[in-house]
Amino acid sequence: MSEKKLVLLLENVDGGYGDSQILTDINMEVHQGEIVVIIGPNGAGKSTAMKSVFGLLNLTKGKVVLNGKDITNMPPEKVVHEGVCYVPQTANIFPSLTVQENLEMGAFIRNDDFKPRMQEIFELFPPLYEKRAQPAGTLSGGQRQMVAMGKALMLEPQILLLDEPTAGLSPLYQSEIFEIVKQVHAHGTPILMVEQNAKQALAIADRGYVLVDGKNKYHDTGAALLADPEVGEMFLGGGKAATISKRKPATANAKTKTTPKSKSKTTSKANSKSGIKKPLPKKVKDPSLKKKSTTTKKSGA
Ligand SMILES: Nc1ncnc2c1ncn2[C@@H]1O[C@H](COP(=O)(O)OP(=O)(O)OP(=O)(O)O)[C@@H](O)[C@H]1O
Ligand SMILES: [Mg+2]
């Protein structure tokens, strides 16, 4: 099976805050064309894992590689230039600025003409065009998430990191956000997303990672994780996981897993069978920008 290009790799990453180690031997991969989801209980280290990619914490072991380049412990302002855009769970827009001004802020490190890109963003999120002159803080929760994602996408990132984009939203808006994530992905941007709505997230994911206590617990295709009784029991609201497994088959490098619906009861980080065979990802961090627009994904069109 031809493997898609590896965009982001976290390999054997240890890291935390100050003297407090949160992540232990974390491994993750995101390939071109993938939506990869991180789920797990509160405090498991999901956000911390994302921050590790964005240079927001100190990594004491392992490495983070973006498109073949080692960005371990690279500061956020540089990570952005490398093509990583991070949409944090909260405070991810400027509420008092208009929608258009938010998008312009997202492009602040670009020194080229970003108008065409803004047009693409408006085409991707029509409600934002309609409300482009309104303060972003006056929009609905779902539309504010559009602004947050649109702001990040202004830099045409190599990869988009989303931390719980549906948090605090009604079920209706949550579904809307997942549709938006699919749209963004369809336009060519690989996505690494932390989600508390594990079922819906895994349903649109090519692959998923379950973190527990700062460690890889399971790793498999989204379909396999949904169908896994153990995962369902622990993270999907009761073993009915199998009933939801209708989501999309793991596309991309599903090589990892295989048995689409069977149970991959992998156990912690070791679970080679369902996934975690290879270690990888690592840190992340904050907001939006990056400059290299051009190359990677250019969606729009
Ligand atoms: N800035 C920080 N300084 C010190 N400890 C932190 C910091 N942020 C998070 N932690 C701790 O790191 C651990 C992992 O937190 P993290 O936010 O990564 O978990 P999470 O899986 O994202 O949880 P949630 O589902 O609640 O968002 C927790 O014990 C948390 O208290
Ligand atoms: Mg979190």
> At a CB cut-off of 8 Å and minimum separation 6, what does 7 contact?
30, 31, 32, 34, 66, 67, 158, 159, 190
Q: What pLDDT, on a 0 to 100 scale, did the predictor assign at position 238?
A: 56
Distance in Å, CA 89 to ligand 1 centroid? 12
pTM of the model: 0.79
- Cα–Cα distances (Å) from 103 to 115, 124, 136, 145, in that order, read 10, 13, 10, 12
**What ligand is nearest to the CA atom of residue 45?**
1
CA gap 293, 285 in Å, rounded: 19
Distance in Å, CA 45 to ligand 2 centroid? 7
| Ligand 1 contact, 149 CB (< 6 A) | no
Candidate from 20-24, 165-169, 180-184, 254-258 with smallest mean pLDDT:
254-258
Candidate from 47-51, 199-203, 236-240, 242-246 with smallest mean pLDDT:
242-246
Using one digit for the tens of pLDDT, what is the confidence trace for 29-44? Answer: 999 999 999 999 999 9
Q: Using an 8 Å Cβ cutoff, are 178 and 186 in contact?
A: no
Output the residue whose Cα is nearest ligand 1's atom 1: 17
Using one digit for the tens of pLDDT, what is the confidence trace for 110-121? Answer: 888 889 999 999
The tokens describing 250, both together, are 């793991």
Task: Pick the atom of ligand 1 nearest to 41's CA.
Answer: 25
Using one digit for the tens of pLDDT, what is the confidence trace for 209-255? Answer: 999 999 999 999 999 999 998 888 887 775 443 333 333 333 333 33
Q: What pLDDT, on a 0 to 100 scale, did the predictor assign at position 108?
A: 83
- Is 50 exceeded by the pLDDT of residue 257? no
